[in-house]
């Protein structure tokens, strides 16, 4: 079959590699793709937020299956539009995508269905926000309701910080329409983990738990980023906690969606906080995480494309899906200055060969006319490795990192440090 991948980041490059390795796929192309994807497959220009243009491209190309990477086109209903013209797509419909597109919708859903989460209040008026904030203990979490490219969550350490954040969102329109409604939540103190499911209604495949590293600096210091690395499986999700996640979060969530008349088909990403042995939902995303995708798909023994197609068509058989016992780790190489301002156009040099079990995943890259790959984003590359242990995966990953070079490259040397210390 012919597959179209929507998106241009590390997540989409990982999905492309899965398609290239799949016996089901005769041809795959990306829209719009990136420099690394362009070296492996055809890339077609596309504004992923233009839903009619996306459908038109899929029809013109005679596509059999579409895999949607980013959250924005999902929230705009790209899956609904593709299915309306008979093209199956992996990803939730617009109604289900509200789990990521609206934090207040999700908070209402969680509380209504008695799923463990932080208590919160939705607010649209600054005076109401300030009155509520005066009653809170600190720190508190303030979230812009809509999509904000991972930047709409602020941890306010004091009332003054919270007052400034609420003013920025509700009055100064820092996040545009996404911040016209805010969610003020109690702060949860614990260790985070990511639970990713490949869902087809009430059936699902639970991928190994993973842990992302959001801060730019080692030891989790400095400002938040889109993610500087991840590993899986994460031992912080013990068998006991895993059982609680299934019984108290996953099953009630899928049952709640069904009760609300929402059919979910695609990836459900559940960010959890583990507080004193109790997992609670921090957020839902409705697509594969980035960089978690880079460590999860390599751990599938079965063809990820077949699983995604089965999810989209409602034919998923979870018991037949096998997952490796190996470990995987990804390190993000970022541009100098990221997550602040950064320069683009820095040439990247790569090793002549990459050993089996490792990979170079492109995110913010561009291919010039002469074939040179240059930087074009903040998070430039994801370097991945697998191993029988987490330490082996880390050693292989960092050995490959040392063979990749571009001016000003920054990376964390401690991805997986919590688990490595526990070992």
Residues 6+ apart with CB under 8 A from 222: 215, 216
Q: In terms of pLDDT, which residue wins out, 171 or 146?
A: 171
Q: Out of 162-171, 300-309, 386-395, pick the least confident.
A: 162-171
Q: Tell me, what's the pLDDT at 177? A: 82
Q: In terms of pLDDT, which residue wins out, 104 or 412?
A: 412
Query: Could you tell me the two tokens for 404?
Result: 């990749």
Superfamily of domain 191-422: ATP-grasp fold, B domain (3.30.470.20)
The domain at 2-91 falls in which architecture? Answer: 3-Layer(aba) Sandwich (3.40)
Question: Same topology for domains 125-180 and 191-422, yes or no?
Answer: no
pLDDT tens for each residue of 277-297: 999 999 999 999 999 999 999
Q: Out of 40-49, 106-115, 153-162, pick the least confident.
A: 153-162
Q: Which three-class secondary structure state does DSSP give residue 138?
A: coil
Q: Tell me, what's the pLDDT at 331? A: 98
Helices vs strands, H then E, count in the chain: 15, 22
pLDDT tens for each residue of 123-155: 888 988 898 889 888 999 898 887 876 678 888
The Cα-based distances of 67 to 58, 64, 266, 366 in angstroms read 11, 10, 9, 22
Question: Mean pLDDT, to the nearest integer, of 176-197?
Answer: 89
Residues 6+ apart with CB under 8 A from 283: 100, 103, 106, 270, 271
Q: Tell me, what's the pLDDT at 181? A: 87
Residues 6+ apart with CB under 8 A from 186: 118, 119, 120, 136, 140, 141
Question: Mean pLDDT, to the nearest integer, of 70-91?
Answer: 98
Taking residue 55's Cβ as centre, other Cβ atoms within 10 Å add up to 18
Q: Tell me, what's the pLDDT at 179? A: 75
Instruction: Provide the mean pLDDT of the chain.
Output: 95
Q: Tell me, what's the pLDDT at 354? A: 95
Residues 6+ apart with CB under 8 A from 90: 65, 66, 67, 68, 265, 266, 267, 308, 309, 311, 312
Q: Where are the domains of the chain?
A: 2-91, 125-180, 191-422
pLDDT tens for each residue of 204-228: 999 999 999 999 999 999 988 989 9
pLDDT tens for each residue of 227-238: 999 999 999 999
Question: Mean pLDDT, to the nearest integer, of 72-84?
Answer: 98
Residue 356: phi, psi to the nearest 5?
Answer: -55, 145
Write the class of the CATH domain 125-180. Answer: alpha beta
44 contacts 29 by C-beta, under 8 angstroms: yes
């Amino acid at each position: 079959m012919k597959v179209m991948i929507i998106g241009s980041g590390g997540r989409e490059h990982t999905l492309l590699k899965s398609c290239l390795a799949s016996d089901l796929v005769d041809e795959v192309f990306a829209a719009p793709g990136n420099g690394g994807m362009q070296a492996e497959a055809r890339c077609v220009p596309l504004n992923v937020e233009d839903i009619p243009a996306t459908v038109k491209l899929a029809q013109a190309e005679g596509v059999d299956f579409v895999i949607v990477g980013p959250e924005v086109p999902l929230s705009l209903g790209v899956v609904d539009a593709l299915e309306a013209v008979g093209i199956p797509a992996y990803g939730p419909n617009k109604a289900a995508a509200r789990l990521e597109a609206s934090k207040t919708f999700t908070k209402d859903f969680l509380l209504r269905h008695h799923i463990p989460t932080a208590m919160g209040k939705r607010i649209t008026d600054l005076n109401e926000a300030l009155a509520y904030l005066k009653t809170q203990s600190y720190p508190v979490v303030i979230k812009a309701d809509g999509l904000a490219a991972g930047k709409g969550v602020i941890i306010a350490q004091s009332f003054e910080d919270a007052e400034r954040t609420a003013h920025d969102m509700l009055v100064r329109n820092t996040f545009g329409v996404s911040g016209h409604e805010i969610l003020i939540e109690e702060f949860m103190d614990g260790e985070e983990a990511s639970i990713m499911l490949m869902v087809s209604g009430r059936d699902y495949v639970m991928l190994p738990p993973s842990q992302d590293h959001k801060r730019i600096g080692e030891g989790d210091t400095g400002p938040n980023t889109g993610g500087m690395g991840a590993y899986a499986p994460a031992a912080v999700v013990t068998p006991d906690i895993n059982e609680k996640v299934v019984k108290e979060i996953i099953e009630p969530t899928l049952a709640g969606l069904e009760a609300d008349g929402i059919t979910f088909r695609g990836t459900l990403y559940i960010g959890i906080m583990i507080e004193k042995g109790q997992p609670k939902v921090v957020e839902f995303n409705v697509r594969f995480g980035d960089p978690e995708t880079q460590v999860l798909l390599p751990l599938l023994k079965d063809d990820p494309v077949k699983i995604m197609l089965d999810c989209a068509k409602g034919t998923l058989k979870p018991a037949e899906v096998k997952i490796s016992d190996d470990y995987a780790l990804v390190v993000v190489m970022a541009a100098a200055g990221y997550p602040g301002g950064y320069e683009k156009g820095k040439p990247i040099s790569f090793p002549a060969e990459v050993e089996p079990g490792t990979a170079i995943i492109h995110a913010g890259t561009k291919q010039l006319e002469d074939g040179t790959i240059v930087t074009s984003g903040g998070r430039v590359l994801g370097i991945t490795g697998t191993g029988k242990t987490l330490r082996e995966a880390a050693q292989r990953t960092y050995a490959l990192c040392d063979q990749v070079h571009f001016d000003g490259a920054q990376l964390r040397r401690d991805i997986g440090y919590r688990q490595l210390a526990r070992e």
